[in-house]
Amino acid sequence: MPRIPAPTDPLIDERVIVRLSAERDIPEILIAYQDDPQLHVRLGEQRPPSGAELGRREERAATERAAGSRLTLTIAEPGSDVCRGQVYVREVDWDNDRAEVGIWLAPQARGRGMAAPALRMAAQWLLVNTELERVQVTATPDNEPMIRAARAAGFAEEGVLRGYVRVGGRRADATVLSLLPDDLEA
């Protein structure tokens, strides 16, 4: 199984910095969950994580990257190292060379044009630096900010998968968007 390397340098544009997640991000992540009581629901979690759970996730991060199963990147603003959100890579399927990416932003970072460039830089980095040939986003059709960010990042909308995900204990539809290597040239 191929591994997912750690980015050697942060990914930077004028609006956002994307870097490897770190333990120092935990306090800001906890604050984001506190400031947005529905964040865990949108991320498919049963409940908000505790600081200890976030610490254990960070302890497993290098092993999961080496196993090619997961990557978490932190979003910061230029000139700052404070976590404003994260891009995560999960559902990695090496048999089909594809993975799912998702993103969340802290409430105070939303609406500032950070999501699309962070998503684009992370997806592009994955397609160039791993053996992945497809990066996709799935979001419930009512998650318009996520769908808008994915479109703005260059992802092509493919359609809706009916009853594809479980949200809050119920089946929900999912809008699927994808980015392929050929899309990077556009």
- pLDDT, tens digit, 9 for 90 and up, residues 15-49: 999 999 999 999 999 999 999 998 988 887 889 99
Kindly tell me if the per-residue pLDDT of 8 is higher than 70: yes
CA distance 92 to 70: 7
> Does residue 186 register a pLDDT over 70?
no
> Is the per-residue pLDDT at 82 higher than 70?
yes
List, for residues 114-168, the tens digit of each pLDDT value: 999 999 999 999 999 999 999 999 999 999 999 999 999 999 999 999 999 887 7
Strand ranges, E, within the chain: 11-12, 17-20, 71-76, 85-93, 98-105, 134-139, 156-167, 170-179
The domain limits of the chain are 11-185
Q: What size, in residues, is the chain?
A: 186
Q: Which CATH superfamily is domain 11-185 in?
A: Gcn5-related N-acetyltransferase (GNAT) (3.40.630.30)
CA dihedral (72, 78, 84, 87) positive or negative: negative
